[in-house]
Amino acid sequence: MMIVDAHQHYWLPSRGDYGWLAQAPMALRRAFLPADLCAQREAAGVNFSVLVQAAPSEEETRYLFELAHLDPAVVGVVGWVDLEADDVGARIDALIRDGGGLLRGLRPMAQDIADPDWLARPSLDRAFDCIQDCGLTFDALVGMPQLPALCRRLRRHPQLSVVLDHAGKPAIADGRFDQWTSWIDELAQHPQLHCKLSGLLTLLDEPVHEDAIEPYVADLFTHFGAERLLWGSDWPVLTTHADFGHWLHVAQTLTERYAPGSQADVFAANAVRFYALDIESPVTNPV
């Protein structure tokens, strides 16, 4: 079975634009590049990946284009652009041109912006018009404080192709469920919204066991169905809690439990369709 990782990162801290790393666990404050991942990805049987921005700069997006050329498994890039810039349309056009077909979507780091209502600002309407008109997708990097604004943005742009990163970052470690699931219920009413089955293990704190994610995963399948969920590793953030292959196994087990027979969709087809990835199933040798 072909597997597409819909959410992974590379970064090089010495570039100087990863401000959030200063508050990240020490283990993440180093370079994570193709040489660090390729063997793990191959051992896990993952064929392709979508590389997602990790710094709020257009320069980093262009750096990801460079890395994508060094890593044949990368078939798409989700980048960053200044959505508040007066010339946002020209900036997006330039990234599309420079990406040579790699740019599949854009992601502001909304969770790090002080105003939780930022995504709903009318001043961003033009930028979202441009994203939509260019045929790009939108990755929503939000936590629960930003979910109401995301709902309002979806009402303003009902045709926008959106994917919710890391299931909206529920407060799993605190055992809080009701508030999160009520927002997921509202978000799921928008048929163009997809959701990433990613980043859940890293929401756990000791001594909470990884089984704590199961009711959240079950709820995602209830609300989005197997046809709107995309698996992602969230590597290397994942490495603070598990290795690449372990998270893939956990996700496959839960998918088979709550959506039997849907592995091909959750682990490949949905990502290919959502990001319009130009890939073919790899040829496997007969046993």
CATH number at residue 112: 3.20.20.140
In this structure, is residue 163 part of a structural domain?
yes
| Tokens (6 digits) for 145 | 């404080």
In this structure, is residue 82 part of a structural domain?
yes
Long-range contacts of 91-94 (CB under 8 A, 24+ apart): 91/58, 92/130, 92/131, 92/134, 92/136, 93/134
Q: Considering only CA atoms, which of 197, 254, 269, 262 is closest in space to residue 3?
A: 269
In this predicted model, what pLDDT tens digit does every residue of 105-128 receive, in sequence order?
A: 999 999 999 999 999 999 999 999
Say how far apart CA 43 and CA 128 lie, in whole Å.
Answer: 39
pLDDT of the residue at 21? 97
In this structure, is residue 96 part of a structural domain?
yes
In this structure, is residue 282 part of a structural domain?
no
Strands 162-164 and 103-106: unpaired
In this predicted model, what pLDDT tens digit does every residue of 189-247 receive, in sequence order?
A: 999 999 999 999 999 988 889 999 999 999 999 999 999 999 999 999 999 999 999 99
In this structure, is residue 260 part of a structural domain?
yes
| Tokens (6 digits) for 73 | 């498994």
pLDDT of the residue at 41? 98
Say how far apart CA 199 and CA 155 lie, in whole Å.
Answer: 26
Q: What is the pTM of this model?
A: 0.96
The crossing angle, in degrees rounded to 10, of helices 244-258 and 214-224 is: 50
Residue 154 domain boundaries: 4-274
pLDDT of the residue at 281? 55
Residues across the chain: 287
Long-range contacts of 278-281 (CB under 8 A, 24+ apart): 278/75, 278/101, 279/4, 279/48, 279/75, 281/2
| Tokens (6 digits) for 156 | 């303003």
Rounded to 5°, angle at Cα 105 from 99 and 109: 110
Say how far apart CA 147 and CA 169 lie, in whole Å.
Answer: 10
In this structure, is residue 240 part of a structural domain?
yes
Cβ pair 57, 17 in contact under 8 A: yes
In this structure, is residue 42 part of a structural domain?
yes
Count structural domains, the chain: 1
Say how far apart CA 254 and CA 22 lie, in whole Å.
Answer: 34
> Per-residue pLDDT for the chain (287 aa), expressed as one digit of tens each?
999 999 999 999 999 999 999 999 999 999 999 999 999 999 999 999 999 999 999 999 999 999 999 999 999 999 999 999 999 999 999 999 999 999 999 999 999 999 999 999 999 999 999 999 999 999 999 999 999 999 999 999 999 999 999 999 999 988 778 899 999 999 999 999 999 999 999 999 888 899 999 999 999 999 999 999 999 999 999 999 999 999 999 999 999 999 999 999 999 999 999 999 998 755 443 33
Say how far apart CA 220 and CA 168 lie, in whole Å.
Answer: 11
Write out the DSSP string of 21-38: GGGS-GGGSS-B-HHHHH
In this structure, is residue 285 part of a structural domain?
no
pLDDT of the residue at 176? 79
Say how far apart CA 276 and CA 75 lie, in whole Å.
Answer: 10
Strand partners, 137: 105
CB within 8 Å of 27: residues ≥ 6 apart? 239, 240
H helical segments located in 140-243:
147-156, 178-187, 214-224
Instruction: Output helix, strand, coil percentages for the chain, rounded to the nearest 5.
Output: 50, 15, 35
